[in-house]
Amino acid sequence: MPPASSNVALGRPGGRALEGLTALGQIATIVGYEARKLRHDPSELLLRAIQPALWLVVFGSALSEIHAIPTAPLSYLQYLTPGILAQSVLFIAIFYGIAAIRERELGIIIKFLVSPARRTILVGGRALSASLRGLSQALVVLLLATALSVHLDLTPLTVLGVVVTVVLGSALFSTLSMVIASLVKTQERFLGIGQLLTMPLFFASNAIYPLKIMPPWLRPFALVNPLTYLVDALRNLVLPAGSGLTIFPLALDLGVLLGTTLGLILLAAQLYPRMAQ
Amino acid sequence: MSVTLAAPVVDVQELSRRFGDFTAVDRLSFAVPRNEVFGLIGPNGAGKTTTIKMLTTLLAATSGRAMVAGYEISAQPAEVRRRIGYVPQLISADAAVTGYENLWVVAGLYGIPRTERQLRIREALEHVGLQAFADELVRNYSGGMIRRLEIASALLHRPEVLFLDEPTVGLDPVAREAVWEQILELQRTYGTAILLTTHYMEEADRLCARIGVLHRGRLVAVGSPAELKARLGRPGVTLQDVFMHFAGEEVELTGSYRETGRTRRVAARLE
């Protein structure tokens, strides 16, 4: 058998350009792998579509009727739709770590960790993989909103913006999920913590009501909650301009999401190898 | 080139790993030349898996050093990983995708060029006799087929050394025989060095040119199966007797609840 170096692109001397190219190839591989898995068993995606449907159709429609939440000049459903989109991204991404725990218990994780791929690439690739699920949720929410004739500002540019934002949001919460998974290591503890986290993240955010009607003591929490920035970015993109219902400029929202995601990826890359010990 | 060929592909010096007060691996030293099949035998809990995890860079050593395929494990782990293949005791194949897809992801992670990928995967599957099952989900594979797929996967990037941790645990005698054949065939064809762990004495006798007996994290004897048997100084000795001689009477007492659980789960999944 010839030595590995003559056969593997990674072993050739080629400097940073080749290394970057290899890293991109590895990320593409990890995302492609997730796509193949989802194609073999799309049942999770279908089941996950039910919850946002209930929020929009039941909760949203009911609260629209009674005008309990001040969202003038927009209808409550218009205001709510980006919130529910962000929420479904959160809910599907925050349990992504369960896959890492399952892979650890079975041994599949070793296949990834014994490969020459950098740990940041492994974690970053997984984070992007998670966005496939997030994007499927986004599609469901936007189709539902269209079916309910919720007026959203959907142009090719804003749709592209929604895609980028959903990818970022999914990457952020799935990486947070992998950090937790690397620390707790068992499914039972992970599910407990996952349940414990989702509701506070959801309610201490601007997903279903504006910050100004939130109790004052809760507002600081909402402002350090990444979900708030995800919701705000989506509102910036799809609500008609000048509604006055967003908190920050879009660039700030995206900057916070990107910065937090990169920080979490670096942290997860430190912790992820512990899953094989 | 002659220099690198002469150097052992695995060279372990005083390697130790402690977990709190417990010393799992205690100043281990041994070397595996190219082309050799080297076996680490010992009861559960002797430190076999811990040793393999350190040599495959998954677990940091507490002290000591080891060169694997020309690189030091803690100084240049990525270079080591590029040149080794590892089939863990747990199941590294993913049941949710096909055999082909299992190898496809590995090819991508090792940076095998896209143009070569398909050919290499087909070759690897053919080599372990799984070409007819390439597009079948791995959850429908038998235990022996899963192990052979994992061996194919670990060889896809043509490593210089292959680590096999309990390669036939949980397999029935027929499947075990098939995996043994595969390993011997691989060795004959490519001369890849193999470091395997086992607690099946028959397996060690059949596959290994040399054996190291691990007991409580220490290497208590190293030699060819014939040498080790001769050391007991009486006729009709089997490797089982050697094992009992060195590992002593507590063989039955070791093996934690967690380890037993893991072994049984692997066995159950491979059936």
Q: A58 with A141: CB under 8 angstroms?
A: no
Q: Give the residue-averaged pLDDT of A168-182.
A: 97
Residue A117, min C-alpha distance to chain B (Å): 6
| Residue B97, pLDDT above cutoff 90 | yes
Best residue of A6, A110, A186, A272 to probe chain B, by most B CBs closer than 10 Å = A110
Strand extents, DSSP E, A136-229: none
Q: Give the residue-averaged pLDDT of A174-197.
A: 93
Q: Give the residue-averaged pLDDT of A192-206.
A: 92
Q: A60 with A25: CB under 8 angstroms?
A: no
Q: Find the chain B residues whose C-beta atoms sit closer than 8 A to any C-beta of A.
A: 53, 56-59, 69, 78, 81-84, 86, 88-97, 101, 104-114, 137, 153, 157-160, 190-192, 269
Report the predicted TM-score, pTM, of the whole model to 2 decimal places. 0.88
Residue of A nearest to B57 (CA): A114
Would you put residue B235 in left (φ > 0), alpha (ψ -120 to 50) or beta? beta
| Angstrom distance (rounded) from CA A254 to CA A257 | 5
> What does DSSP say about strands B161-165 and B193-198: parallel, antiparallel, or unpaired?
parallel
What per-residue confidence (pLDDT) applies to B112?
92
Residue A31, min C-alpha distance to chain B (Å): 10
Residue of A nearest to B186 (CA): A1
Residue A242, min C-alpha distance to chain B (Å): 47
| Angstrom distance (rounded) from CA B72 to CA B62 | 14
| Angstrom distance (rounded) from CA A17 to CA A224 | 37
Check A115 against B192: CB less than 8 A apart. Answer: no
Say what percent of chain A tops pLDDT 70. 95
CATH class of B2-94+161-270: alpha beta
Check A4 against B83: CB less than 8 A apart. Answer: yes
| Residue B20, pLDDT above cutoff 70 | yes
Closest CB from A28, A40, A276 relative to B58:
A276
Q: What is the pLDDT of residues A1-21, one digit of tens each?
A: 444 444 444 444 557 788 888
Q: A266 with A120: CB under 8 angstroms?
A: yes
| Least confident range of A196-200, B132-136, B232-236 | B232-236
Check A9 against B153: CB less than 8 A apart. Answer: no
Q: What is the pLDDT of residues A131-159, one digit of tens each?
A: 999 999 999 999 999 999 999 999 999 99
What per-residue confidence (pLDDT) applies to A14?
58
Residue of A nearest to B189 (CA): A1
Q: What ipTM, to 2 d.p.?
A: 0.86
List chain B domain ranges: 2-94+161-270
